[in-house]
Amino acid sequence: MNKMAANVNSSQASNRNNLLAQDGKGQPTENNRTSGLDNYGIIGLQRQIMKEQDEDLLQLEETVASTKHIALTVNEELDLHSRLLDELDQATDGTNAHLKNVQRRLAILSKRASSGCSLVCLLLMLLAIVILVLVIWALIKFL
């Protein structure tokens, strides 16, 4: 952690020296942008640099605003999807409960069918069909 702080401090000092065009001993030095300029030229250069920085800051502000709008839109989408997933979870729980109920009923029906109740029902239905056929035959023959 101390190493990182030392690196940041030395980097900041280096950047400060570069910005102030100093050689580290407190003495200003000329660079390729300031050489051959008088005081008015340096002031003009400073104004130009400040204007460029202002333009860069405006572009950065637009980028940050655009990023903010994108982040807000993504957040709204995430909220929507979260609500949809919650609704789907509730619907799935309801369907699961209904399915368990149907499976329970099928198990009861299966037990009853295997116990012979269905055979008696089948014989009764067969007898009812035979009686219906005889009644229909008798109606057709006697009418």
Tens of pLDDT along 35-93? 777 888 888 889 999 999 999 999 999 999 999 999 999 999 999 999 999 999 999 99
Q: Is a pLDDT exceeding 70 seen at residue 111?
A: yes
Angle in degrees, 0-180, between the axes of helices 39-114 and 117-142, rounded to the nearest 10: 70
Span 89-101, average pLDDT:
92
Share of the chain above pLDDT 70, in %: 75
Separation CA 10–CA 2 (nearest Å)? 12
User: What does pTM read for this prediction?
Assistant: 0.45
Q: Which residue has the higher pLDDT, 18 or 53?
A: 53
Whole-angstrom Cα distance, residue 73 to residue 66? 11
Tell me the torsion sign for CA atoms 108, 111, 117, 118: positive
The radius of gyration of the chain from alpha carbons, rounded to an integer in Å, stands at: 45
Helix H or strand E segment including 110 = helix 39-114
Q: Do 60 and 53 meet the contact criterion of CB atoms below 8 Å apart?
A: no
